[in-house]
Structure 1
Amino acid sequence: MIRPFVLWLIWQNERTRQRYHVGNLVHHEGKYMFYYEKHAQRRGVIEALKNGYRLHLAFPDIDKIYVSDRLFGPFERRLPDCRRPDFQEILKAHGLSNDYTDMDLLRATGGRLATDPYEFVAPIYVYGNEFDFDFYIAGWRYYEGERVIDQLQVGDDVKFQREPKNEQDPKAVVVLTKQGEKLGYIPAFYSEFMFRLIEEGGGVYKANIQFIHPKANPQLKVNICVCGTLTPKMKQVQQDMLHDLELVIT
């Protein structure tokens, strides 16, 4: 069975700057599907609704699985126009070739617009006992990143550290350089997974710098790639998190 291409839809509360995993976009066997992330124990759509979120106007039913033969219009409009004179430069900047798919481009660009607080991110992928995901460091502008960015190199290892006394997020996980400089945090919609993995000894992992964009916006400066192996207990935790996706595609 071909693995479905999944992206998480993230909404940011513009007042608190907190981000929530509110929905899932799936491309599988020629069909596009969108549904709200109701089963996340934290930072899902239910918590988002309690903190000012309103359902997307194009997807007003929180219980419905929306299905289409093509990428949904509201998401397609988030892609850069292929008629732009600089479109080839956009592909090059994101490491994409001319045989890209809409999902490839949506993942690479995040589908970000200046007019709203949505973006798409890649999920945590689990295959067998292995897992991987990547993320841009959150909170970059507030810590040591800008001071040391000229010293960072692609491929450098980074360290993670739990921060259970964090008043805003008791599941927060800090990103540190090998020398101990604080670069920021793992985004909250990924952090519980890593928090539990570290806390419970749920597996082994390696994390390193995948991209550095010194001139980008702070939230897109440094991208971290994480890969590792799960213990059977931690694998079951992640399978429980993916159960809703299995219901959608079967």
Structure 2
Amino acid sequence: MVKKPYVLWLIWQNQETRQRYHVGNLFHEDGKYTFSYELSGRRRTLFEAMENGYQPHLSFRNIEKSYVSNRLFGPFARRLPDKRRPDFKEILKDFALPLDYTEMDLLRATGGRLATDPYEFVAPISVLGDHFHFDFFVAGWRYYEGDKIENQLQAESHVTFELEPLNDEDNKAVIVLSGKKGYKLGYIPAFYSGFMFDVIRNKDIYEAKIEKINPYAKPQLKVNISIVGRLKKGYSSTSNEDVEPVQYV
């Protein structure tokens, strides 16, 4: 089987509205890195971001160009923890990464987040046949009931979702609720919620649980949720790849 490319989505957040957009895609395949802007998504993609104040990255000014490099692009490589740090092995341990990690592994684990700008990298939704999986950090954690019950949450505990079609900011918003008592923890990030909104509306099969809790992390990195499921009607794609990174937001 042909080895599939490693894909990450580049997310930009409007600092005023706090809304996030999927503006680009970073691929690693056969030793080459490729970056291109996301021009074909359904919502929360580049053109909507530009309507809301986004300007292309200074290192990637041409939105129609595919940029290719034999090494991870400098602006992205600088987002990784310096391996010369004395605590670097502890960082790998914290993110459950092996010593033979790749730069894409580390970029995915850390998100490549910096305090100086509103970018981050996230993994795409992956579909294999009619099965899908993805994971996300709960959005809006600081504004709801998560902190009140944080000590009651446990890894592997199930969570539930609730559609919020009348949400003024996102008509495909999906609320994340804790276990049986249904405390509101926050939302599925908007760049994933469109896909999950349709999964729930179509009554597709899925399971969602808490993957990891980071009690000392920033609110946006507190609780990670994983979802695995099956689409009743399958996933329609023109790609021949077995694993498809879905742009469905």
What TM-score results when the alignment is normalised by the length of structure 2? 0.94
Instruction: Write the mapping of 1:22-171 to structure 2, written as runs, cut at 5 A.
Output: 22-171=23-172
Give how far 1:242 is off.
11
The letter for the 2-side match of 1:199 is R
Aligned AA (2:188): I
Match of residue 198 from structure 1? 200
* Distance change >3 Å, CA 107–CA 97, structure 1 → 2: same
Residue identity in the other structure for 2:195:
F
- Distance in 1 of aligned mates of 2:224 and 2:83: 25
Amino acid at match of 1:21: H
Q: What's the CA shift string for 1:52-109, capped at 9, x where partnerless?
A: 0000011111111111111111100100000001111110110011100000000000
Matched, 1:226 2:227: yes
Structure 2: 5+ residue runs without aligned partners? none
Amino acid at match of 2:221: L
How many matched pairs? 241
8 Å CA contact 1:40–1:241 kept in 2: the answer is no
Distance 1:241 1:207 in 2: 27
Q: Deviations over 1:192-220 (max 9, x none)?
A: 0000111122x210000000011110000
Amino acid aligned to 2:123: A
Conserved? CA contact 1:213–1:221, under 8 Å = yes
Aligned-partner Cα distance in 1 for 2:100–2:66: 29
> What whole-Å deviation, never above 9, does each CA across 1:106-158 have from its counterpart, x for those lacking one?
00000000100000000001111111100000000011100000000000000
Q: Secondary structure at the match of 1:235?
A: coil
Distance 2:6 2:86 in 1: 29
- Residues 201-248 of structure 1: CA distance to partner in whole angstroms, max 9, x if unpaired? 2x210000000011110000000000011122x512xx37999x89xx
C-alpha RMSD of the superposition? 1.6
Q: State the partner residue of 2:182.
A: 180
In the alignment, the residues of structure 1 paired with residue 58 and residue 206 of structure 2 have an alpha-carbon distance, to the nearest angstrom, of 40
Q: Distance in 2 between matches of 1:66 and 1:230?
A: 34
Tell me, which stretches of 5 or more residues in structure 1 are unaligned? none
| Aligned-partner Cα distance in 2 for 1:97–1:28 | 20
Work out the CA distance in 1 between the residues paired with 2:164 and 2:239: 22
Letter in 2 for 1:102: E
CA distance, structure 2, for counterparts of residue 138 and residue 188 of structure 1: 9
Q: Distance in 2 between matches of 1:240 and 1:17?
A: 34
| Cα distance in 2, alignment partners of residues 80 and 8 from structure 1 | 19
Q: Which runs of 4+ in 1 moved over 2 A?
A: 239-243
- Equivalence for 2:235: 235
Task: Please state whether the residue corresponding to 1:92 is helix, strand or coil.
Answer: helix
Residue 32 of structure 1 contacts residue 68 of structure 1 at CA under 8 Å; is this kept in 2? yes
Matched letter for residue 215 of structure 2: P
Amino acid at match of 2:101: Y
Q: Which structure: greater helix fraction?
A: 1
Helix, strand or coil at the partner of 2:148: helix
Separation (CA, whole Å) in 2 of partners of 1:241 and 1:104: 24
Higher relative contact order (CA 8 A, sep 6+): 2
How many angstroms apart in 1 are the aligned matches of 2:4 and 2:143? 38
